[in-house]
Structure 1
Amino acid sequence: MVTTLPRTPRMNAICERVIGTLRRELLDRILILNERHLTFALREYLIHYNGHRPHQSRQPLASGR
């Protein structure tokens, strides 16, 4: 069992949301064969997820200065 840190009471809820997203969008759609395959699938999912949904803090627009 992993316990949450004292100053981060919302960490558990955030982790559960991430795990739920991974289950629905990735693990329910593919048969994982072994740990190496899981690692590869997670890496590809993260590239897809972050590449198609860029955040403003990661790729800010050029300011018109």
Structure 2
Amino acid sequence: MTNHPDEERIEARSHLFPEELAAGSDDPHRQAEIILEDSDARTEDPEQAARDSHQTPN
């Protein structure tokens, strides 16, 4: 199971990229948490991430 990202990483990622600013975000902090959790899960188990991906050929 993925650990919850630490607050320092969340704070750093919560600063929106230009395309995210253009689209808007109701909760940049929560958005950062979700992005980092997904990224950590993919890093911890890249084979499962490839199986789950709609972009990676099986």
TM-score by length of 1: 0.36
Task: Report the structure, 1 or 2, having the larger helix content.
Answer: 2
Structure showing greater radius of gyration is 1
Structure showing greater relative contact order (alpha-carbon pairs closer than 8 Å, 6 or more residues apart): 2
Question: TM-score, normalised to structure 2's length?
Answer: 0.39
